[in-house]
Amino acid sequence: MQQKYHKYASLTKIDNQVLQNKTLLFNVEETLLKSFSMFPYFMLVAFEGGGPLRALVLLIVYPFMCILKEEMRLKAMIFICFFGIKKARFTIGRTVLPKFFLENVGDGSLEVVMRFGRKVGVTNLPRIMVEGFLMDYLGIEDIVGREIKVLGGYYTGLLDVGVVNDEQEMIFAHIMSQSQKVGICCINKCFQTPPFTYCKDIYYVSKDDKKRWNNLPRDKYPKTLIFHDGRLAFMPTPGDTLVMFIWLPFGFILSISRVLITILLPYQLSLPILAFIGLRYPTSMPLSLKHIHMQHTTSSINKIPKGMIYVCNHKTVLDSIYISYICRMNCSLLFYGISKLSAFLSPLNTIALTRNREKDAAIMHKVLRQGRNIVMCPEGTTCREPYLLRFSPFFAEISDDIIPVALQLNVSMFYGTTASGMKAFDPFCLMMNPWPSYYVQFLDKLPEACTCGSGGRTKFEVANYVQDVIGKALGYKCTALTRKDKYSILVGNNGLVN
C-alpha cells in the first residue's frame, strides 16, 4: 500500500470531526513519552518484582548490554527482569509503572492522540508492562505488544513471538475492515515495519517536536492518579540507581540507628539527635492550641485527666509518633492492622482495636479518662498523592475535644508505605531516606458548633468537616474513596489484616 508522509504538527490543523472517523496506530514509547529509555522501566520491574539482588544484576550487566543492538538489548533485559517471576503475582504493570509512565508523557503528543476516535497502541515492551497505563489511565484498549512465555505459571523471560504475530494480524484485520483511513504517529523509521505498513497516512514526530513538549500536568491526566504502589520514589535511571545502591549500606545502618534512638532515648535527647542525622520535622501550631496544650499539662499535674483526640491524615505508620514527639505529650496509638514488629518497636502505647464499635468505643473512652491523648487516622489507610480519602466518622462519637492535624511527607528515595509488600518494613524503608521530611501542622480545635455533643451535628457532618479543614490546609482534594477502594485497585482485596 502506498503511504503518504506528513509532518506531525499538521495533525493539530485537522478538524476534530475528521479525526474521530479515523483509527490511529501509534508507537507508545516514541509517540507519548517525552524522553524514553527502556532501562528505568525494566529496573522498576526488577526491583519491585524480583528484589534488590535482581535489580543489582541488571545494573551491573546493563553497560555490557549497551554494546548490543537495540532488539538484543531489549530481549536481554526482559530475560533478566522476568525470569522466574510468578505470573499470577505480577501486578507491577498496573500498580507501579503507570505513575512513572504518566510523569513522562509529553503534553504535545497526548492531546493529539486523544482526539482520534479509535486508538491502537503498539509497543516494543512486553504488553504486561504497558497495558495498565494505556487501559486504566488513557482508555486505550487495543494494544499490540510482546508476550512472554509462561511455564508452570512462571515467566521464562523468553518472548513468545507467535502469540504477538497472531494478535497483530487479528487486530489489524478488524481495523482494516472497519476503517477506510488509518492515521499513525511515530518517530524514526518504525513506520517502515509492520504493523505500520498497513497505514495509508503517516504522521511522524521529530526530535525537535519533543524538545518543545512539557511534561503533562497532573490535572491534565485523562484519569486521575490517586493510588500506586512500590518502594522506589524516584525514576531509576542508571545514574540514580547506582547512587541508590551505593547509599543502601549507609541507609540500612542509618535506619536502624534512627529506630533505636527513637525507642531507647527520651524526647529531650532523641529529637536533637534525630534532627542532626537527617530527620526533618518542621511544625506550626496556632496560639489558641498552645494555650490548650498548657491547660492540658496543668490538668495532668493537678490529676484532672482530660484526654484529647488528634485527627490527622494518614501518611505512614509513624504519623502518631511524630505528633506525640512534637507535642511532647503522652499519646496512645490506636490501630487495626499494623504489623506486630511495628507495634513492638513503637515508643508509644499501642492499643489494638477490634472493629467492634461498642468494644472499641469503650477502649477509647477508658484511654481518654486516664488523661492520655489519642492519635487517629480516620482514612484507615495511607495515600501518597495529594488527596484525602473518606474519613470514618467513628472518632466524632467519642469526644468533642478534637484537634485536626495536617501532615505532609517528602521522601527522595524510598516510600515508607506499601499495599502489597511486607508492612513490617515500612518504618525502616522510610528511615532509609537520606532526609525524610515530615511537616506537621496543628489546626485550631474543633468549634463546639461543629461537634456531635455540644453542636448537635451528625457524626458524618463532623467527619466531613474535619476532612475539609485538613484538605484546605494541605491543598489536597477530598474524595469519597476508602481503604477498600485502594486495596481493591492495588491488591484485589479489602485491605483487612488479621
Q: What is the pLDDT of residue 37?
A: 86
Note whether 49 and 85 are within 8 A (CB).
yes
Cα separation, 473 vs 421, in Å, equals: 31
Asked whether the predicted pLDDT for residue 63 surpasses 50, the reply is yes
Q: Which of 316, 271, 269, 291 is nearest to 431 (CA)?
A: 316
The letter for the amino acid at 296 is H
Mean pLDDT calculated for residue range 166-186 = 59
C-alpha cell of residue 9: 504538527
Residue 6 φ then ψ, to 5°: -125, 155
Note whether 123 and 167 are within 8 A (CB).
no
Q: What is the pLDDT of residue 79?
A: 96
308 confidence band (pLDDT: 50, 70, 90): confident
Cα separation, 224 vs 327, in Å, equals: 36
Q: What is the pLDDT of residue 387?
A: 96
Q: For each of the domains in the chain, give its residue range(s) and CATH number, in order of start.
A: 4-220 (no CATH), 238-490 (3.40.1130)
C-alpha cell of residue 173: 484485520
SS (H, E, C) 248-269: HHHHHHHHHHHHHHHHHCCHHH
Q: Give Cα separations from 96 to 49, 129, 280, 440 (angstroms).
A: 10, 10, 27, 28
List, in order, residues 6 or more apart from 107 with CB less than 8 Å away: 213, 214, 215, 216, 217, 220
Mean pLDDT calculated for residue range 138-153 = 89
pLDDT tens sequence across 225-279: 999 999 999 999 999 999 999 999 999 999 999 888 887 887 778 778 887 777 7
pLDDT tens sequence across 418-476: 988 888 888 899 999 999 988 888 898 899 888 888 888 999 999 999 999 999 999 99
Residue 438 φ then ψ, to 5°: -105, 125
pLDDT tens sequence across 84-133: 999 988 999 999 999 999 999 988 778 778 877 778 888 889 999 999 99
Q: What is the pLDDT of residue 328?
A: 65
Asked whether the predicted pLDDT for residue 298 surpasses 50, the reply is no
pLDDT tens sequence across 34-56: 877 899 999 999 999 999 999 99
145 vs 385 pLDDT, higher one: 385
pLDDT tens sequence across 195-226: 666 666 677 777 777 778 888 899 889 999 99
Asked whether the predicted pLDDT for residue 341 surpasses 70, the reply is no
Residue 195 preceded by cis peptide, ω within 30:
yes
302 confidence band (pLDDT: 50, 70, 90): very low
- Provide the 8-state DSSP code for 445: P
C-alpha cell of residue 42: 525494566
Q: What is the pLDDT of residue 107?
A: 82
Q: What is the pLDDT of residue 253?
A: 94
The letter for the amino acid at 49 is G
288 confidence band (pLDDT: 50, 70, 90): low
Cell 526530535, residue located: 207
Torsion region of 303: left, alpha or beta (phi above 0 gives left; psi -120 to 50 gives alpha): left
Q: Give pTM, 2 decimals.
A: 0.88
Cα separation, 75 vs 66, in Å, equals: 12
Find which of 79-88, 154-163, 293-302, 484-493 is predicted with most confidence, using mean pLDDT: 79-88
Cα-to-chain-centroid distance, residue 348: 28
Q: Report the percentage of the chain scoring pLDDT > 90.
A: 39
240 vs 179 pLDDT, higher one: 240
The helix, strand and coil proportions of the chain, stated in percent and rounded to the nearest 5, come to 50, 20, 35
349 confidence band (pLDDT: 50, 70, 90): low
β-pairing, 331-335 vs 387-388, is unpaired
Q: What is the pLDDT of residue 347?
A: 62
Least confident of 7-16, 79-88, 469-478: 7-16
Q: What is the pLDDT of residue 40?
A: 96
Q: What is the pLDDT of residue 6?
A: 53
299 confidence band (pLDDT: 50, 70, 90): very low
Q: Which of 231, 316, 243, 278 is nearest to 434 (CA)?
A: 278
β-pairing, 437-442 vs 402-410, is antiparallel
Q: What is the pLDDT of residue 1?
A: 46
Mean pLDDT calculated for residue range 378-395 = 92
Q: Which of 221, 207, 161, 172 is nearest to 25 (CA)?
A: 172
Average pLDDT value for the chain:
82
Q: What is the pLDDT of residue 174?
A: 61
Sign of the CA dihedral with 261 first, then 266, 269, and 271 last = positive
Q: Could you tell me the maximum CA-CA distance found in the chain, to the nearest angstrom?
A: 91
